Structure 1
Amino acid sequence: MTSVELYFSDEEEEILEVKRIRRSLRDSFNPMELDNDVFIRNFRLSKPAFLHVYNSIEDKLQLNIRQQAVPNIIKLAAALKFFAYGDYQTSFFENDLDMGLAQSTLSYIFKEVFDALESNICSKYINFEYKPDELRRVKDHFYEKYGIPNVIGCLDNTHLKIIMPKKDLRHLYANRKGFFSLNILVVCDDLMHIRYIDARNPGATCDADVWNKSSLKRKLHEDYCNNRKTGVLLGDDKYPLTPYLLIPYNNVEKGSLQEKFNNKHKLAQEVIEKMFVILKSRFRCLLSTKELHYSPEKATQITNICAALHNICLKYKVEMPDIQKENNQNDDNSIDAKYGEDEIIKTSSNELYNGGKLVRDSILDLFKKS
């Protein structure tokens, strides 16, 4: 045997040994045997929530026929750990456990699990259609706490940092702060449930345009035109004023009813700001200090899945992440400049603007009586 042949023989043996070690780790690893705190820290779900998600997607995952196949429960655990930490190295070679998975294997696993999660949990857990008791609860909350009637949720945008897209798409995804991103529209209710999400828009798209193109805006506009009184959303002054989206007053006088409305409006909006902090602390792949190394389409899919998982965490009362410990960075959602009403009105018809003004001014009459 030549020295070259001996070299390659040793190298092949090392590769085989690594594979044997990984298979041994994989076969011996059972995530359900982890301590509860370690389990939540690694996967962000409690064990009951994990099993619920697993049972929801198990029939969509490939059967493990080959001896070397990765068990489906490990596939889900690997995907959840990626959502929790946002990168391969941190996710799979540190932080309490090693699942015995090579990065090349993870790529195949992620595609399979992401597709299964998106098709099975997103539409089920992200739904703007309120049940009657839910609608009463959310409206009562915003009216009793802030004095603003008929509110069904709060609206805001946030950006998800992504890697540089293809050359002919870069101008679409470069946002005002100079990095590539998706501009994500989200609506949440009083309990921080995500009721609507649109994560498809490139980062160069302004918030008002994302809203104007959204299916939710079309639905609320259709309800308004057909005299179906669904309710109103609260958003900041990046958006146009309409009868179904109330924004703060511009240039208010100190001590005026308009200032009182703005203050209450700002307090009410804090629920979606808190939701973003919790969402991104729980699923750190969404943090602006990281960037998703995926195409815009795959980044959209990941965002939708994390939003659905967030709602599942709320359903199963999974403890909130330690924000002080988890968040060592300031994640700024605000990219767009804010505009005054004179500029915003240009993006909305006079009829809609005037209708929104009537709705907003009628709330000042309620403040006079309180």
Structure 2
Amino acid sequence: MLESIRKPSKRGLPFPPEIMLLITLRYYATGSFQKMQKDVMNICQQSVSRIIVQVSNLIATKMKKYVKFPTDTEELNMVKQKFYEINHFPEVIGCVDCTQIKIRSPGGETSDVYKNRKGFYSINVQTVVGPNLEFFNLVARWPGSTPDSFIYNNSSIKQRLDTGELEGVILGDSDFVASNTLLTPFLSPNSIPQEQYNKSLYETRKLVEHCLGIWKGRFPCLQVGMCIKVETVVAVICACAALHNIAVSVGDVAPTNWEMAEIDTDVDFTTTNEDPNSEGFVARQLFVDRYFQNY
């Protein structure tokens, strides 16, 4: 990766690639140019900004190499087994969730689309997480106001699941629309098997929130927000996902106080009525009938 940075451009490279990488990692660790000043006193902010853009774009281009689903059947079966061992939820190959990454207002007439329901500007990032707290998929191109279900419905992961390219199910929360490949909680469970299904799904799905907590703890720029251009924010998000998976692959475990940062301990099982004839309800009930009737 450093060799790619080392390649000369028309203007030349005034800084060694190792220094450029360290400057970029320092930004990922702070999210603030002001906090970096004491560490890069001899480099002006404009140069630091250019370095962050260049290195982030380079690492982001490598994301698909490190962030991907297992394609081998044996590996995918191993993923299902590891998920099953968490709380006996079968056939799971991933857990999906979206998380808001803070940004500054991009300005312009369309800036409000980046303002999410919590009132701050953001990118709504969809992640699919594996059993080892790694990312299997990441989508980082939608403004903060975009609903989670819309992002999923327009994602390649949905298409790959629906066409059978990926065999199994993924688990989501009630922000997503249930189907035979994406399972969500029953909003008002009315039987012991449905309650057990909800409990098993919730306990298994904690993994994605756990992973997001580690990710944002490992790279605080994702938590505190970034005052850089939107396109650079996207590159930083993708770069941090690739670096996270590299860290997981070499056994770099995050400190415990980071691991719990993102977990929502409130179970979002409301009493809202559901249509028992809807496609999603029927798909969930068939899954319950098949796997949870013995509870």
Under a length normalisation based on structure 1, what TM-score does the superposition of the two structures give?
0.71
> Structure 1 residues 69 and 171 mapped into 2: Cα distance closer, same or farther (>3 Å)?
closer
Consecutive unaligned residues of structure 1, counting only runs of 5 or more, are 1-55
Partner deviation per Cα, 1:15-57 (whole Å, 9 max, x = no partner):
xxxxxxxxxxxxxxxxxxxxxxxxxxxxxxxxxxxxxxxxx24
Match of 1:107 in 2: 49
**Following superposition of structure 1 onto structure 2, how do residues 1-370 of structure 1 map, counting pairs within 5 Å?**
56-63=1-8, 69-93=14-38, 97-98=39-40, 100-119=42-61, 121-223=62-164, 230-253=167-190, 256-287=192-223, 290-321=224-255, 323=257, 340=272, 342=274, 350-351=278-279, 354-365=282-293, 367-368=294-295
Q: Please tell me whether the aligned partners of residues 95 and 205 of structure 2 are also in contact (alpha carbons under 8 angstroms).
A: yes
Partner deviation per Cα, 1:335-354 (whole Å, 9 max, x = no partner):
xx9874638x9xxx955653
> Matched residues in 1 for 2:249 and 2:240: separation?
14
> Structure 1 residues 244 and 331 mapped into 2: Cα distance closer, same or farther (>3 Å)?
closer
SS of alignment partner, residue 43 of structure 2: coil
Q: Please tell me whether the aligned partners of residues 181 and 203 of structure 1 are also in contact (alpha carbons under 8 angstroms).
A: yes
> Structure 1 residues 143 and 341 mapped into 2: Cα distance closer, same or farther (>3 Å)?
farther
Kindly state the Cα deviation for residue 296 of structure 1 after the two structures are TM-superposed. 2.3
Kindly state the Cα deviation for residue 203 of structure 1 after the two structures are TM-superposed. 0.7
> Structure 1 residues 100 and 323 mapped into 2: Cα distance closer, same or farther (>3 Å)?
farther
Q: Could you tell me which amino acid in structure 2 is paired with residue 162 of structure 1?
A: I
Q: Please tell me whether the aligned partners of residues 243 and 357 of structure 1 are also in contact (alpha carbons under 8 angstroms).
A: no
> Matched residues in 2 for 1:184 and 1:237: separation?
17
> Matched residues in 2 for 1:80 and 1:169: separation?
31
Q: Could you tell me which amino acid in structure 2 is paired with residue 209 of structure 1?
A: F
Q: Please tell me whether the aligned partners of residues 64 and 71 of structure 1 are also in contact (alpha carbons under 8 angstroms).
A: no
Q: Please tell me whether the aligned partners of residues 187 and 269 of structure 2 are also in contact (alpha carbons under 8 angstroms).
A: no
SS of alignment partner, residue 274 of structure 2: helix
Partner deviation per Cα, 1:206-233 (whole Å, 9 max, x = no partner):
111111111111221222xxxx661000
> Matched residues in 1 for 2:202 and 2:280: separation?
22
> Matched residues in 1 for 2:107 and 2:65: separation?
33
Q: Please tell me whether the aligned partners of residues 151 and 234 of structure 1 are also in contact (alpha carbons under 8 angstroms).
A: yes
Consecutive unaligned residues of structure 2, counting only runs of 5 or more, are none
Kindly state the Cα deviation for residue 356 of structure 1 after the two structures are TM-superposed. 4.2
Q: Please tell me whether the aligned partners of residues 177 and 280 of structure 2 are also in contact (alpha carbons under 8 angstroms).
A: no
> Structure 1 residues 292 and 98 mapped into 2: Cα distance closer, same or farther (>3 Å)?
closer
> Matched residues in 1 for 2:54 and 2:40: separation?
20
Which structure has the greater CA radius of gyration?
A: 1
Q: Could you tell me which amino acid in structure 2 is paired with residue 110 of structure 1?
A: I
Kindly state the Cα deviation for residue 240 of structure 1 after the two structures are TM-superposed. 0.9
SS of alignment partner, residue 110 of structure 2: helix
Match of 1:5 in 2: none
Under a length normalisation based on structure 2, what TM-score does the superposition of the two structures give?
0.88
Share of identical aligned residues, percent? 29
Q: Could you tell me which amino acid in structure 2 is paired with residue 113 of structure 1?
A: V
SS of alignment partner, residue 166 of structure 1: coil
Kindly state the Cα deviation for residue 154 of structure 1 after the two structures are TM-superposed. 0.7
Q: Which has the higher contact order (CA 8 A, sep 6+)?
A: 2
Kindly state the Cα deviation for residue 82 of structure 1 after the two structures are TM-superposed. 0.7
Kindly state the Cα deviation for residue 130 of structure 1 after the two structures are TM-superposed. 3.4
Larger relative helix fraction: 1
Q: Please tell me whether the aligned partners of residues 146 and 264 of structure 1 are also in contact (alpha carbons under 8 angstroms).
A: yes
- Paired residue total: 292
> Matched residues in 2 for 1:292 and 1:256: separation?
46
Root mean square deviation of aligned Cα: 2.9
> Matched residues in 2 for 1:99 and 1:301: separation?
25
> Matched residues in 2 for 1:241 and 1:205: separation?
18
> Structure 1 residues 230 and 60 mapped into 2: Cα distance closer, same or farther (>3 Å)?
same
SS of alignment partner, residue 359 of structure 1: helix
Q: Please tell me whether the aligned partners of residues 61 and 113 of structure 1 are also in contact (alpha carbons under 8 angstroms).
A: no
